[in-house]
Chains A and B, each alone.
Chain A
């Protein structure tokens, strides 16, 4: 069974640009979660989507947004990129909505210059 996949693996953008990150959950999983992990820091919860709707978001500004598609894949958009947005962005999925038993993808390394 395929795990959570994310694309791209690496993304380099300049300050002020927009970044789009993509995630495909494990087949059958309807919940998708996004996390940010800046260098040396713990995981910060960004967004949770379930059945196409945003269920909750962490303490991040509105320029972090996303959506979930009918096939349960998800997209994270970061507008007006700032240098401190440089981080590993992780996507996870779960079989049950809001479950703590989540399965993570390999992440997208975003570098903002």
Chain B
């Protein structure tokens, strides 16, 4: 099971691009990398998932280097409403561990 390490918290300003990096040194060959967003007292919301290189959707981009030992979630031009906890998940479905995530605080 690949353990993930993320910063506990980050601050940024409205309109900035925010990059949150997740380390997963023992990622397995078949593992995908998935990111979720969670607001207080709500269930997490799926943001993006990738296996290698770069994945982009209407919400975010996910950058995965060739060795796949880390990944970076990129949020373009954040707003106050992007203040939330962001979770990086890596691994298979055998045991799902969310970890404590990164608390992102967007300032005006």
Contact = CB atoms under 8 A, between A and B. Distances in A.
Interface of A: 4, 33, 35, 41-45, 48, 55-56, 58, 88, 90-92, 97-107, 109
Interface stretch (B19-27, B74-82, B92-100): B92-100
B59 to A, nearest CB: 14
Contacts, number: 60
Interface stretch (B9-17, B41-49, B62-70): B41-49
Given A42-B87, A42-B99, A48 B43 contact: no
A86 B97 CA distance: 20
Contacts of A90: 43-44
* Interface range on chain B (Cβ under 8 Å from partner): 20 to 34
A32 to B, nearest CB: 13
Nearest to B89: A100
Nearest to B98: A43
B93 A98 contact: yes
B45 to A, nearest CB: 7
B96 A33 contact: yes
B43 A56 contact: no
Contacts of A35: 98
B95 A58 contact: yes
Given A98-B93, A100-B93, A101-B49, 5 more contacts: A92-B44, A100-B91, A101-B46, A104-B45, A106-B42
